[in-house]
Amino acid sequence: MEQTSGRPATEAKTAARGRPSRRAGRRPWGMDARGRTPWTRGWTLVSLAILTAGLTAFHSAVPNTAGNLGSLLETFLPWTGLAVPVLLGLALLRRSAVAGVAAALPGAVWAVLFGHLVVPAGGVTAYDLTVLQHNVDDENPDPAGTARALLRAGADLIALEELTPEAVAAYRAVLEADHPHHAVVGTVGLWSRYPLTGTRPVDIRPGDVEASWSRGLRSTARTPRGDVAVYVAHLPSVRVGTGGFTSGRRDESAVLLGTAIAAERLERVVLLGDLNGTLDDRGLAPLTSRVTPARTGFGFSWPAVFPLARIDHVMARAATPVHTWTLPATGSDHLPVAARIRF
């Protein structure tokens, strides 16, 4: 009779105890090699989401002391919404649930500030006056064609900026049949279906600019609903360079224009102009605190080839802008902006 030794069985059990099992080496679902789960990784993205939401919500707290960074942020403030899909995409690549949830924070802030601008406008609202504002560009190769395009808006008042002496004749020739009354001061002009009286320059010249600089006018339009003081203005340009966002001259000019409007004796005021600033930019506060902007949708008006900002505006006092829209591109680097106003 053979005797079976217990050694092989004992060695097998010992070897089994020393070998790691497949179940023991498997990580929980979603855990990476460093032991982080979808709820414990991606905190850098969370920080970016909180920063974006904070800058969007509290943009007025960003100082202008260094390079006018506050005004620069406010110029392109609606575009902060693009951070939301970027953050969501990065959260998906990172497989971070906490980052995905955090991305909703700047989305919610953006919706509060700008959500109403993406809601389609309602039906036609009663209005008393249609106005149009356009920086026609002093290098416009086709002033007559631009004028014909502007007539299609059916505006009662047409304000133009960057007029040159040579181009004025072309605009007058096209517009005068439908808008027989006009006034030109410096490089800005106004064409009207109604008589214009009391036209005069408005001094919005920054202190360090030559005396020949003239970009503002004021005129009274004798409309069927009563007299309206119409201001046409072209504020100085802003620049982005190594020194930051240079808007000092624009801001100074805005203060001068706001002071002139505050002193206006007529109750009804309409301001038409290339203000070289957006409604969110604190540099235009001397104006937006005194007149109500016309704003339906984002209405980006510059540059015409790919509009990034709305710097061409229609504003009113003792009147309500009920609808505003941009027209197709002309020979200018700006889009025309039209608005309907109710007294």
Query: pLDDT by residue (tens digit) across 28-68?
Result: 556 665 667 767 788 999 999 999 999 999 999 999 888 89
Question: Is residue 139 located within the same domain as residue 77?
Answer: no
Per-residue model confidence as pLDDT tens digits over 75-97 = 999 999 999 999 999 999 988 99
* Residue 10 domain-assigned (yes or no): no
216's tokens: 């503002």
CA distance 65 to 77: 19
Least confident segment among 27-31, 70-74, 132-136, 254-258: 27-31
* Residue 326 domain-assigned (yes or no): yes
Question: Is residue 232 located within the same domain as residue 294?
Answer: yes
Which own/partner contact pairs does 102-105 have at CB distance under 8 Å and 24+ positions apart? 102/45, 102/46, 102/49, 102/50, 103/45, 103/49, 105/49, 105/50, 105/53
Domain count, the chain: 2
Question: Is residue 42 located within the same domain as residue 88?
Answer: yes
Mean pLDDT, the chain, as a whole number?
90
pTM for this entry: 0.86
Question: Is residue 263 located within the same domain as residue 311?
Answer: yes
Tell which of 88, 117, 146 closes a domain.
117
* Residue 275 domain-assigned (yes or no): yes
Per-residue model confidence as pLDDT tens digits over 111-162 = 999 998 887 766 667 999 999 999 999 999 999 999 999 999 999 999 999 9
Provide the CATH number for the domain around residue 207.
3.60.10.10
More confident residue, 242 or 73: 73
Which residue is associated with the tokens 């937006």?
A: 288
The confidence score (pLDDT) of residue 22 equals 46
Q: What are phi and psi of 240, to 5 degrees?
A: -115, 115
Helix axes 104-114, 83-94, angle to 10 degrees: 170
Q: How many residues does the chain have?
A: 343
Tell which of 72, 89, 117 closes a domain.
117
Owning domain of residue 88: 35-117
The confidence score (pLDDT) of residue 51 equals 97
**Mean pLDDT in residue range 167-196:** 98
Q: Judge whether residue 240 has pLDDT over 50.
A: yes
